[in-house]
Amino acid sequence: MNNNSPLSHRKEEPENGILYIVGTPIGNLNDISQRALNILRNVSLVACEDTRQTKKIMNKFNISNKLISFNKHNSLIKIPIIVRDLKEGKSIAIVSDAGMPGICDPGEDIAKSVKSEGIDIICVPGACAAITALVSSGLPSSSFIFEGFLPKKKIDREKILLEISKNEKTTIIYESPKRLRKLLNELLELCGGEREIIVARELTKKFEEHVGNNINKAIEFFRDKDIIGEITIVIRGIRKSDFIPNKSIIKKDLTDLIDAGLSLSAASKYLAKKNGLKKSEVYNLI
């Protein structure tokens, strides 16, 4: 076989002065690729979200290499150091605790900084909880929106949740176990209990489970349970045929339009047409 063939199985050696973004398992350590192991074994150093987590992989596969900490708490300090090392010719791998660096972690910041310096980046792909949950959910997957972890600030959080409730595309969210019930109830208020949803927990691990298939059932399932583990939520987009106007949202829209200068009559007429309601129904919300 020609060594230049894309199907070649030749060993890939890290190149000097290149940043490698390396995907690691999201639970099952056997999901790591041979290519990722080779890079981790042979780069000048490995920058880790948590060195203790990365050592589990290194120890399992008998890899010994220099590890440094790189996370949201020290990224502002470490990014210039990593850029300097790359310019000096070192090869560096970035890994997160689980999954693809750059997804909800400072890997995004280092990639931006490195690119701005004209330094090459190579991605060694691996597992991603969002994609794993999506393709196993049975929900539409050809077009989707990834929101990651929702903001904690109330006004920002409500804005995104409102967008999700109206969106026709599948949405993927990460959430912590302690905030899952709150999120499900927020989705219930905005999306209705029949909206299709899958709550995926502990993906690729021994106790992996997929809970659904709508918001009502997910709320009922987790009502009296101790919730542990990593949570990924997949929400089906709204279908126009299933659309049910949310009066509390319309009332807020009505108030916003009036505050912006529209008359009650004009704002009611606009929102009635937009939501398929009678003008009087909207008018009487205030």
Q: How far apart are CA 139 and CA 161, in angstroms?
A: 19
What domains, with CATH codes, occur in the chain?
19-127 (3.40.1010.10), 130-241 (3.30.950.10), 247-283 (no CATH)
Question: Distances in Å between the alpha carbon of 114 and those of 18, 32, 94, 180, 185?
Answer: 9, 25, 12, 36, 41
pLDDT on residue 122: 96
CB 57 within 8 A of CB 29: yes
**3-state DSSP call for residue 149?**
strand
Question: Is 60 exceeded by the pLDDT of residue 156?
Answer: yes
Higher pLDDT, 135 or 5: 135
Q: How far apart are CA 169 and CA 151, in angstroms?
A: 20
Question: Is 50 exceeded by the pLDDT of residue 266?
Answer: yes
What pLDDT, in 10s, does the model give residues 63-117?
Answer: 999 999 999 999 999 999 999 999 999 999 999 999 999 888 888 899 999 999 9
What pLDDT, in 10s, does the model give residues 25-74?
Answer: 999 999 999 999 999 999 999 999 999 999 999 999 999 999 999 999 99
pLDDT on residue 130: 96
